[in-house]
Structures are given as structure tokens and as C-alpha cells.
Amino acid sequence: MKSSNVIYHQASVTRKRRNKLNNHRSIVLWFTGLSGSGKSTLAHALEEKLFQKGCRTFVLDGDNVRHGLNSNLDFSEASRTENIRRISEVSKLMLESGLIVMTAFISPIKKDRNEAKKLISSDDFIEIYCKASLEACESRDVKGLYKRARAGEIKNYTGIDSPYEVPENPGLIIDTDNQSLEDSVSAILNFLELNEIIK
């Protein structure tokens, strides 16, 4: 519950001024998809290209965030919702700071992604669906988590005994089953240039 004694402070250095200094628009690129669909790999590869172009960026990675900010959350439905809520709030702050923010989270529940979009604003939120079959994701199971989930060692694992709700109308679909990493990054860069987010 918010205190009635907390008053929002309006800074003189605004997002608009930061964007002008950065020479690019700040934005949240929300990568979603099954575990193993290539979200983190794609986000970090994209960040490298953007960094080389002089863009100010940051990747919020699902595993990394759960080591710190969200280390007190489990994988129950309530905790997953809270996980996404916190990430949304952090993303919004980073957006205001002038960054191109890339979030790489399974974020399996459509309602949670919609709430993130609502909080951040539809103009500043681009949902990128990393489309990959469950079979392909299991074949890339570098952490061995799908195998453990199949064996019943991990409960509520997305794609096995917990659902993934496919985005209905994402800003961009990257078919990581059939597109190379290089082609996937190029597709996103082209999208960002077309939409005048970067130059």
C-alpha cells in the first residue's frame, strides 16, 4: 500500500532530454518465450550490436534477476506474477533513464505481460515473441531443466506441467527454430530503425 506521505518528485533532467543526448529513443523490448527459445542469447547479441552503434542499453535476464532483486520468490503462480511486476517497475525506471531495455523472461502468463505493457505504456513496450517448438527447446536443454521436469524433480515448469500462453499480437515474432542468431538480430535492428527508435 502506498503511503499518502510520499510525493512524486519531478526531475528537471527528463527522459526527453536524455533521449536527445543519447541520440536514440528509450524503449522496453520484452522478449518472451519458452525456456530454451533463445531469449537471453538474442537479447545479449542485440545489445552488443546496439552498443557498437553507441546506444545506451541494459539486459534484464530472468536468471540474473532471481539471484538478487527477486531471490525471495519461488515459481508459484503468485510469485511469477510478482516477478514480472517487479521487472516491469524496474524496466519503467530504466526507460525513464533513457535506456533501451531488453527483458529476457519466460513471462508465460498473458495477463502478466499485459499488465507490464499497461504499466510501461503501449508506446514504449515492444513484445518480442521468441517462437520455438517445445521439442527444439528441449533439444537445447543446456541446463538440464527440462529433463529434470520430465522426471518430476522440478514442479510447475513452463511447457511441461505449467502453461505458456502464446502472445496473440506481439510487436515482433522471431522464429528461433528457423532463423539464425545473426538473422534474428538483423530483423530486430531493422524493426527498430523502421520505427525510428534508433538511427
pTM, full prediction = 0.92
When divided into structural domains, the chain yields a total of: 1
- The reply to whether 185 falls in a domain is yes
Phi, psi of 125 (to 5 degrees): -125, 120
- The reply to whether 5 falls in a domain is no
User: pLDDT band at 3, cuts 50/70/90?
Assistant: low
Domain membership of residue 98 as a residue range: 15-194
The pLDDT tens digits for 112-160 are 999 999 999 999 999 999 999 999 999 998 889 999 999 999 988 999 9
**Partners of 27 in the beta sheet?**
100
User: pLDDT band at 6, cuts 50/70/90?
Assistant: low
* b/e burial code for range 154-166 (CB count within 10 A of at least 16 → b): beebbbbebebee
- The reply to whether 39 falls in a domain is yes
- Mean pLDDT, the chain, rounded, equals 93
Gap between the Cα atoms of 168 and 57, Å rounded = 27
- The reply to whether 2 falls in a domain is no
Alpha carbon separation from 11 to 8, 25, 38, 93 (Å, rounded): 9, 19, 37, 13
User: pLDDT band at 67, cuts 50/70/90?
Assistant: confident
- The reply to whether 50 falls in a domain is yes
CATH number where 80 lies: 3.40.50.300
- pLDDT of 49 > 80? The answer is yes
Which class for 49: exposed (0-12), middle (13-18), buried (19 or more C-beta within 10 A)? middle
The residue among 176 and 9 whose pLDDT is bigger is 176
Q: Which of the residues are catalytic?
A: 107
Gap between the Cα atoms of 154 and 146, Å rounded = 9
Gap between the Cα atoms of 63 and 125, Å rounded = 21
- The reply to whether 167 falls in a domain is yes
- The reply to whether 3 falls in a domain is no
- The reply to whether 9 falls in a domain is no
Arithmetic mean of pLDDT, 181-190: 98
